Chain A
Amino acid sequence: MKYAGLLVMPAGFFLSIAALILFPGLAERGVFVLCGLAVEGLGLTVAVRGHMPPRGERQP
C-alpha cells in the first residue's frame, strides 16, 4: 500500500505537465492541473494509510 501510493504521486505530476503541453487555454490547463493535484492527493492518502501502524498491535 505504502509503495503504491508513492508510485501514484508522480502520475499526478505528469498529468499536470501534460496539461501544459496539450491545452492552450488557461481554464483547461487549470482543470487538468487540479486533477493532477487530486491524483497526488489520492496517492498521498494511500501512502499515509499504508504507513499507519495497525491499531491493536504494540509499537516497537
Chain B
Amino acid sequence: MNPIVPGIPVESAALSEAMQALTLALLLVAPLAIAGVALINTGLGRSRSAAQALLGNLAILAVAVVVFALAGGSLAGGLSGAGHSFHVAGKSWNWAGSSPLLLGGIGSAPVQAQLGLLFEFLAVALAALIPWGSGADRWRLVAGCAAAAVTSALVFPFIAHWVWNGGWLAQLGASFGLGSGFIDPGGAASVHVAGGLSALAVIWIAGPRKGKFARDGFSTAMPGHNAVYVLFGCLLALVGWLAWNMAGAILWFHAPLGTLPVTAMNTLLAAAAALLATFAVTRFRFGKPDASLCANGWLAGLVASSACAAVVSPGESIVVGLVAGIATPLLVELLELALSIDDPSGAVTVHAAAGLWGLLAAGLFAPGRGQLLAQMVGIAALLGLVLPITYLLFALLNRLVPFRVDSDGERMGMDLHELGGGAYPEFVIHRDESYR
C-alpha cells in the first residue's frame, strides 16, 4: 500500500484554506524537532562546554534565519517560483531561484508560498544546527555562527530550490522521465544530508578533540555528559518530526488529509524500529544497551523517515527503520575507531548516512518507473557537489575566523573560555584523565 502516489506537480493545485490552516498549525509544532536536536547536541558534549553548546544552538538558529531572510531566501526561490536556468542537450536546468532579496513581495505572495517559506526557515535553522554538535568542545562560537551564515546563504538555498521549488532535481521526472523526479518532502536531503556533510567538513577542519586519539592510535572514550538531555531530546524530536513530515507532505506533495495519519504512523514506526534495532545490536555487542547509541538510532530512524514517510507503507517504514537502526551503531564505531573521525554527536552517521538511506529507500519503495534512478542522481548531487563545496567554503572561512579554540580554551572548557562561567557552577567537575 502506498498512501500517496508521488508525482503530483507542485503547481497543480492550490491548498484549501483548511489544509493551509492545518499546515500552519503543524509548522508551529515542528520547531520541537530543532529543540530536540539542540538538547541532543548539548547532552552529547562535555559538562564544561554545556552552556556554550546550548547558547551556540540558539545563536546559530538566529544567524541562519536572519541570513536566509536577507539573502538565502532569494536563491531558494520559494516566493516567486521563478528561477535561473541554462539549457544543455535541449533540456532546461533550473539551478537557482530568483525571488526578490530581503523577502520582497512576501505580503502579496499566496499563503501557500508563505507557508513554504516558513517551512524553509525551519529547515535552514535545523540544517545549520546539525554540525554544531559535531564540533562540540573545540569549535568556537563565532566560527559556528559564521559557518551557519555560509550554510544558510550559499549551501542550503540551492538544495532547497533544486528539491522543493521546481529546480532541476524536482524536474527529473518531466525532463528525463525518471518517476516523479527527486522526492524529499521532509528535508532528508536539504536538511539532514547537507547538515551531516557539513558536520564532516567541520570535523576535518577543526580536528579531533585533544586527547581523543592517543599516541598509539587508539580512540579514547569521551561520553556525553547528560544522557537525560539526550533521551528527552529524542522524545521532543519525535513530536517535531511528526509535524515536520506531515507539513512537508502537504506542502510539497499536496497530500490530502486522508493520507496524513499514515505519514505520521510511518514516522513513528521508522523511529521505533530503528531504536529496537540499535538496542539489540548494542546489547549483542557490548552486553548492555548503550543509551547514547540508542538515541542516535532513534534519531537515525526519524531522519530516514523524512525522505520516505509520505511514500511508503507502514511495513516498508519498519524495514527503513530497521536498516537505519542496525547501521547506526556500526557506522559510529567504524568512523571513530577505524577512520579517526571525532564526531561527538554522531551527526555524520545520524544525519548524513541515515538521510542518504532514507532517500534511497524512497526510490526503492515509491512507485514510478525510474524513481530509484532519480533518487540516485539526487544522492550523486549531494555527495559530489555539496560535500566538496561546503568543505571549500568552510576551509576559506577557517582562514578568516579560525574554527578551533586554542589549547588553553580546550583545557578550560568552552564555557569558561568563551562565556566566563560554567553551566553547572555548583557541581564539581572532575579532572579529565585524557589531559595528562
**Which residue numbers of A lie inside 8 Å of B, CB to CB?**
2, 6-7, 9-14, 16-17, 20-21, 26, 29-30, 33-34, 36-37, 40, 44, 47-48, 51-53, 55-60
Say whether A52 contacts B210, CB under 8 Å: no
Say whether A9 contacts B388, CB under 8 Å: yes
Contacts of A53 in B (CB 8 A): 207-208, 213, 340
Check A26/B376 contact, CB under 8 A, given A6-B391, A36-B384, A59-B212.
Answer: no
Cα distance A20–B93 when bound, in Å? 12
- In the complex, given contacts A13-B383, A36-B380, A44-B387, what are 15 additional A-B residue pairs having Cβ atoms less than 8 angstroms apart? A2-B204, A9-B385, A13-B385, A16-B376, A16-B384, A21-B88, A26-B373, A33-B373, A33-B377, A40-B384, A47-B204, A53-B213, A55-B216, A55-B217, A60-B207
Cα distance A24–B369 when bound, in Å? 14
Residue of A9, A14, A58 touching B383 (CB-CB under 8 A) = A9
Say whether B383 contacts A6, CB under 8 Å: no
Q: In the complex, what's the smallest C-beta–C-beta distance from A21 to chain B, in angstroms? A: 4
Interface residues of B in 58-76 (CB under 8 A from A): none
In the assembled complex, B91 has its CB within 8 A of some CB on chain A: yes
Residue of A13, A26, A56, A59 touching B380 (CB-CB under 8 A) = A13
Contacts of B381 in A (CB 8 A): 13, 16
Contacts of A9 in B (CB 8 A): 383-385, 387-388
Contacts of A36 in B (CB 8 A): 380, 384
In the assembled complex, B16 has its CB within 8 A of some CB on chain A: no
In the assembled complex, B13 has its CB within 8 A of some CB on chain A: no
Q: In the complex, what's the smallest C-beta–C-beta distance from B276 to chain A, in angstroms? A: 30
Contacts of B431 in A (CB 8 A): none
In the assembled complex, B436 has its CB within 8 A of some CB on chain A: no
Check A29/B210 contact, CB under 8 A, given A9-B388, A10-B384, A13-B381.
Answer: no
Contacts of A12 in B (CB 8 A): 380, 383-384
Residue of B91, B172, B210, B369 touching A59 (CB-CB under 8 A) = B210
Q: B220: nearest residue on chain A (CB-CB)?
A: A59
Q: List 10 A-B contacts (CB under 8 A).
A: A6-B391, A10-B385, A16-B380, A17-B380, A30-B376, A40-B384, A47-B204, A51-B340, A53-B207, A60-B207
Contacts of A57 in B (CB 8 A): 215
Tally of A-B Cβ pairs under 8 angstroms: 91
Say whether B213 contacts A59, CB under 8 Å: yes
Cα distance A7–B88 when bound, in Å? 23
Contacts of A47 in B (CB 8 A): 204
Contacts of A11 in B (CB 8 A): 384
In the assembled complex, B339 has its CB within 8 A of some CB on chain A: yes
7 nearest CB pairs, A to B: A13-B384, A55-B217, A16-B380, A21-B89, A6-B388, A51-B204, A40-B383
Contacts of A30 in B (CB 8 A): 372-373, 376
Interface residues of B in 199-246 (CB under 8 A from A): 204, 207-208, 210-217
Say whether A52 contacts B384, CB under 8 Å: no
Contacts of A59 in B (CB 8 A): 207-208, 210-214
Check A33/B384 contact, CB under 8 A, given A26-B370, A48-B339.
Answer: no
In the assembled complex, B176 has its CB within 8 A of some CB on chain A: yes
Contacts of B213 in A (CB 8 A): 53, 59
Q: B215: nearest residue on chain A (CB-CB)?
A: A58
Cα distance A52–B338 when bound, in Å? 9
